[in-house]
Chain A
Amino acid sequence: MTRASLVFAALLALLFPLSLLAGRVWIAPADFGPGNTLLILGELRLPRAVLAVVIGGGLGAAGAAMQGYLRNPLADPGLFGIAPMAALGAVASFWLTPLLPPAWAAWSLPVLALAGAGLGMAALALIAGRTASDAAGGAGDGIALFTLAGLMLASLAGALTALAITLAPNPFALSEIVMWLNGALTDRSWREVWIAAPLTLAGVGVLALAARSLDALTLGEEAARSLGVEPRRLLVLLVAGVGLTVGAGVAVAGIIGFVGLVVPHLVRPLTDRLPSSLILPSALAGASLVLAADSIVRVLPLVTELRLGIALSLIGAPFFGWLLLRMRKGAL
């Protein structure tokens, strides 16, 4: 385990028990025992903390991989079509759920969000895959076209989501959609953990398979191909890995932005800066960040709980501005 992984694993190990204690009702370790405390811990806080770790870990790993693939420290995995398509699928569920039998209705949101993510992955792989030729003339444009295809998908999904909001069947549905899009872990249970955890683990595993190819991209596309990297294989691994991690996160928690952007920057100074050495520590750091942010939103003295997605955007947007300033000074 590298130094960066050890640092963020230790941080996560410290934050996890603290997050179980934090909330509107603080639980002291001395209060542990049968009754309500155990119920709160086992059925509310533990699944919520595990889900924060799962989603944050997935977003952190996806961010590290996406920045490595695009060779750009300002890349966020949420920007390239998959997260907006997953959100579109989830929003569609608010329309379709009333039409479904009650037994299916409970599953419609995560299933449709995952279907949206899958559709986004397929579209991105199809469009960008045509350009990620292994040796055809014009090779070298693959990453630029991946970016454009991702932005096109994100724009289309955003427009359709806005349309769905505009045509919301009733004010309650409108409120539900808007609240859900802001991202949160409130009231999540073990069911959401069982949906997101296997997909996220699979996604991080797929990204780990792409890690050394991402290292080769440090030298540019041509040099990477000369080192044996197969652009189509790398694209498929990246789209699958990011799709599984980001799609799973959106399916159970809504849109949680900026984690994939911010986390690799926190990790990079502790590593040799190659993408392969970022993926695992970024997963641990992403888990720590989301866990810490979710614990903080729970204890803030507000009338209603601040949505996690909003809190992370409030942290992430100024951080993004700071990155831009550093980039202008040539420090990135």
Chain B
Amino acid sequence: MTLVADNLTLGRGGRSVVNGLSATLAPGQITAIVGPNGAGKSSLLLGLAGLLEPACGSVTLDGESLAQLHPRTRAQTIGYLPQSPDIAWDVAVEPLVALGRLPWRDKGTAAIEAAMAALDLQDLRKRPVSRLSGGERARVLLARVLAGCPRWILADEPLAALDLAHQLALVAHLKDCAAAGQGVVVVLHDLAVAMNHADHVLVLKDGHLAAEGPPRHALQPEIIAQVWGVTAQWMGAPGRQGLVFGT
């Protein structure tokens, strides 16, 4: 079930934020979207989720335009995790995770239990969200998406505000999802996470695709210099690389 953006142009607030972008995203992989602030990463993710109507071009899922899909069918297929959503009510963990079943209009007890088990939330099921740590809250929100059993998981900066251990745990969960055949697309700011854990990287600058491909190609020092204006080198063994700034 391939997700394809074809000559995609997206506008927000009367201005164009993604311009003529084309990319093909494969399931079973982690695709990272990276770029400087204001590059259009979150807008692109919304467009890929079918939540932002293209001004031009299209997003298709296995050849079918997302714009033509019924919202419920789209929601069953694509799970979207916004960046640190503000949760309006002090709901307990279990009913919050259960919101992931809304597109299916069923209780989905098995899916909810599986999602909570995958993210080690069973002991927290009755705890209100106001009493969760940042890491626990991030796990709960991801579990909400997993409970919907989507074919694609699109997450906007899921690692933001998480400490190192929780970042690694969450990345491990996303890798498990990709290994299980789900497509995973994440907006990231940490280029080291993209380099070490993503299978495919889209580099955005000013709404345009500056580079695309496996991380070792898309995140070459020359591209980092061109896109971020920063001189940096990758150090360390593949899979454990870190970015060292300066020459």
Q: Please give the residue numbers on chain A whose beta carbons come within 8 Å of chain B beta carbons, in ascending order.
A: 68, 71-72, 133-139, 212, 215-220, 222-223, 225-230, 268, 272-275
Contacts and interface: CB of A to CB of B under 8 A. Distances in A.
Chief secondary structure at chain B's binding surface: mixed
A218 B87 contact: yes
A139 B79 CA distance: 18
Interface in B99-135: 99-100, 102-103, 105
A220 B52 contact: no
A172 to B, nearest CB: 48
B89 to A, nearest CB: 4
Interface residues of B, number: 40
Interface string B55-86: 10000000000010001101110111110011
12 contacts: A134-B71, A135-B52, A137-B10, A137-B52, A218-B96, A218-B99, A219-B85, A223-B82, A227-B102, A228-B72, A272-B91, A274-B91
Contacts of B51: 135, 139, 222, 225-226
Nearest to A332: B90
Interface string B196-233: 00000000000000000000000000000000000000
Interface of B: 10-14, 46, 49-53, 55, 67, 71-72, 74-76, 78-82, 85-92, 95-96, 99-100, 102-103, 105, 144, 148
Given A220-B85, A222-B46, A229 B52 contact: no
Contact of B91 (A220, A228, A273): A273
A133 B13 CA distance: 13
Contact of A228 (B67, B75, B144): B75
Contacts of B55: 137
Contacts of A220: 82, 85-86, 88
9 closest A-B pairs (Cβ-Cβ)?
A: A228-B75, A226-B80, A71-B88, A228-B72, A135-B53, A228-B103, A273-B89, A137-B12, A137-B11
A228 B74 contact: yes
Nearest to A216: B102
A274 B82 contact: no
A307 to B, nearest CB: 34
A138 B15 CA distance: 10
